[in-house]
Structure 1
């Protein structure tokens, strides 16, 4: 049996290598209980940014204000990713990487280091490893050309965790990190509880987060927060996606938007996002999106909007164009951007 499985695995690897990057994903049955799957996509982006917020290949919840406005154009393929899943009965292992790990330069080769996005093991109802936080509803992320989408209004974080799922209810203990505080004494894991409601109409999740934060002077503070997010089907293939987050959420919201603690005070954040996707025909579609976040102690106030147009040229090949703006109201700065994306799903 071992020889048979090994030969099939070698065959699968050989097929993937010979086929190159631009080919369909693979789902290969090795035995009655064993299956290996390969997937991912190739994505090429052309991005132009103009304004007094420094260029970024994708917006996050913060930015650097420039003394004078500047314009920059870049062409890159860093979002390209590859994943592999191995299943053996009730056990499943999954790993995924992309190429936002830094490295390389724009002078010679533009080489980019791979980084781990997901790496976890799932056995029946228990998941252990690194993946999206249980606090996050991934179905509520809009379709955008910008890699992150409107992170200013999103819960957006991957981290180590142990999660238990019982029907619609999920609970997890997750990696702690007091951003802006005493990280050397993060001795208690973050705790997340989430309840999912779903049907033919779509889905909605309600999540709660509890953490122990450590200030730089050695004090401990309890931080709690809540989130409601979902994707609601409307007419035809159209859908409405939303997120609302409130509480002492710190690093969980906005991808570096606000720290967990500022001095000896715990930051409180309010963030929200709304996006509507409309299908003009079977594949041509547009998403209009707006996201914003505010923090009470630091006074951070950021927002982002965008509108795009995507179409599938083939079942696996799509092209999209997007226009939008990232705004830092607290610093009186903003930048406009335009992006063209080509994506081939493996």
Structure 2
């Protein structure tokens, strides 16, 4: 009865998350009997000015859209804000997270946005089952940016439903297949990922391999292989260098729609990379400079994204930042510059 009352209290507190800044402090409650529940996330408010001939869609996705002529736009939004819950019971952990990129709403009256599921998985000892970042990714190698995820054209950036097994530095996964550009209705084999993580006081580097069986629009089966090397290396003081390199038939796993898995009856081949350096000016202020690029063989795409930013923590939980950058589609002779301001309150 005592644990039931605690769980009821936590549930009631959880309903208040998002009502006000004061109600959004992250907290963990020990329910007893080796059970814990934790709420987390952040509130993020962005203002962005864009000028150029590439259309902006919430964040710089690899496909972009070329405008008939140069245009300028200023928008403010809060839909990157997110909330998550972690429940632990002994060796079992459940995690669920959502943000508000689910579409809906309007800017005439309410600016409402639908919630969207990001992560939902169960982890028991060394086995994870559910939806989360693909095992092909190294999340520590993502640049710190004001723009959502930054130079995604050069990053592995996919969430998949999967079954993952971790054994020391090794990770193996069977992940949800999708023949992007082909006929996904005939996908019969899961994607296979194997990754080895090198770790030390110096940082970490991961080497990953990807194998898939893709299905073309004519229902022909094609094999696809890809490799990735990514990491975060500590330099001087608190500074760090982050990088990613991907090549082969990585398709939808890299670049956020910059490359399809299949172009007609051919398997797409791409090469992409991202580099970022983060420098701490002092304990409260830091900057990152980043660049990402992807090129493809079959579709002849050439997309790049660079940016420079500065963030200052006014409290341990509250940070304000500004970023200037550019997104370019060299294959279509199109480019846009942007200036973004962000306020982020971590719960």
TM-score range, shorter chain: over 0.9
Partner Cα separation in structure 1 for residue 274 and residue 300 of structure 2 = 19
Tell me the alpha carbon deviations over residues 168-202 of structure 1, each in whole angstroms, 9 at most, x when there is no partner.
00000000000010111000000000000111100
Partner Cα separation in structure 2 for residue 148 and residue 62 of structure 1 = 15
Match of 1:272 in 2: 273
Partner Cα separation in structure 2 for residue 181 and residue 117 of structure 1 = 25
Q: Is the 8 A contact 2:275 2:291 kept in 1?
A: yes
Cα displacement (A) at 1:108:
0.9
Tell me the alpha carbon deviations over residues 123-181 of structure 1, each in whole angstroms, 9 at most, x when there is no partner.
00000000000000000001000012100000000010000000000000000000010
- Partner secondary structure for residue 30 of structure 1: strand
Tell me the alpha carbon deviations over residues 278-323 of structure 1, each in whole angstroms, 9 at most, x when there is no partner.
0000120010000000000000100000000001010100000000
- Partner secondary structure for residue 330 of structure 1: helix
Partner Cα separation in structure 1 for residue 163 and residue 181 of structure 2 = 25
Partner Cα separation in structure 2 for residue 51 and residue 4 of structure 1 = 60
Match of 1:216 in 2: 217
Partner Cα separation in structure 2 for residue 179 and residue 282 of structure 1 = 44
Match of 1:6 in 2: 4
Is 1:160 the counterpart of 2:161? The answer is: yes
TM-score by length of 2: 0.98
Partner Cα separation in structure 1 for residue 178 and residue 7 of structure 2 = 39
- Partner secondary structure for residue 152 of structure 1: helix
Partner Cα separation in structure 2 for residue 187 and residue 17 of structure 1 = 41
Consecutive unaligned residues of structure 1, counting only runs of 5 or more, are none
Partner Cα separation in structure 2 for residue 91 and residue 286 of structure 1 = 38
Is 1:51 the counterpart of 2:49? The answer is: no
Consecutive unaligned residues of structure 2, counting only runs of 5 or more, are none
Aligned positions of 1:80-99 closer than 5 A:
80-99=81-100
Q: Is the 8 A contact 1:55 1:72 kept in 2?
A: no
Partner Cα separation in structure 2 for residue 55 and residue 135 of structure 1 = 27
TM-score by length of 1: 0.98
Cα pair distance change 1:18/1:259, threshold 3 Å: closer
Partner Cα separation in structure 1 for residue 216 and residue 10 of structure 2 = 51
Q: Is the 8 A contact 1:21 1:42 kept in 2?
A: no
Partner Cα separation in structure 1 for residue 130 and residue 261 of structure 2 = 23
- Partner secondary structure for residue 8 of structure 1: helix
Aligned positions of 1:1-346 closer than 5 A:
3-17=1-15, 20-22=19-21, 23-346=24-347
Q: Is the 8 A contact 2:207 2:229 kept in 1?
A: yes
Partner Cα separation in structure 2 for residue 10 and residue 341 of structure 1 = 35
CA root-mean-square deviation: 1.0
Partner Cα separation in structure 1 for residue 20 and residue 130 of structure 2 = 27
Partner Cα separation in structure 1 for residue 15 and residue 181 of structure 2 = 45
Partner Cα separation in structure 2 for residue 221 and residue 262 of structure 1 = 12
Cα displacement (A) at 1:32:
2.9
Instruction: Tell me the number of residue pairs that the alignment of Structure 1 and Structure 2 aligns.
Output: 344
Cα pair distance change 1:134/1:18, threshold 3 Å: closer
